[in-house]
Amino acid sequence: MKAATKILLVVVGLLFLIDIGWRVWVWHHYAAGREVLKNFKVEYLHTNDWSGIGIFDAKSDQPIWTKFDIGHDSNSIMESYYFRGKDTFDVTVTSNRPPKYGVFFRGSGKSVTWWLDDVGSGLFTDRISYNTNGNFYKREIWYKEAWHLVDRRNETNGIVINGKWFQLGRDTNGWTIETQANQ
């Protein structure tokens, strides 16, 4: 019985030493990872029925990256990338559809221009500009290899080409002209 106890104590002692050695090795091996974790924090997010996760700067609390599940039925995911705490690039992926993109160019004050690929055509089809106060300034669409200012008439979006107003429509490739009006 004494021999069995001694063997058991030796085995437990060896396991204890192996465990300590393993913990010391892991501590030194992942030192860089611990340093990174001092600068960033991960948070679970929930807003407007969207659930997500975000990476934030630990010191300033500003976002760096977020990912949201944005639809119960649509299976859509939106990833956003930030620069100095402000949204600069969004990608939205929905099952069985091409990804949609948004790029945000910031100017002075609250001015910003959004470049959007709302239909997932692989081209930026919309530019929306806001002035230094953050108020809507203008909207342009990409049609026939050129940017056109959107001219809203009778609560309908259109563009003017060669002095004629055309009502806008959408398809999977971007903007189309639906009808011509004599306005």
pLDDT digits (tens, 9 = 90+) for 23-56: 888 888 877 777 777 889 999 998 877 889 999 9
* pLDDT for position 11: 87
The helix or strand, by DSSP H or E, that contains position 111, with its residue range, turns out to be: none
What's the pTM? 0.68
β-pairing, 100-106 vs 151-153, is unpaired
pLDDT at 178: 72
The answer on pLDDT for 182 being more than 60 is no
Four-CA torsion 102, 107, 108, 111, nearest 10 degrees:
-40
35 and 55 in contact (C-beta within 8 Å)? no
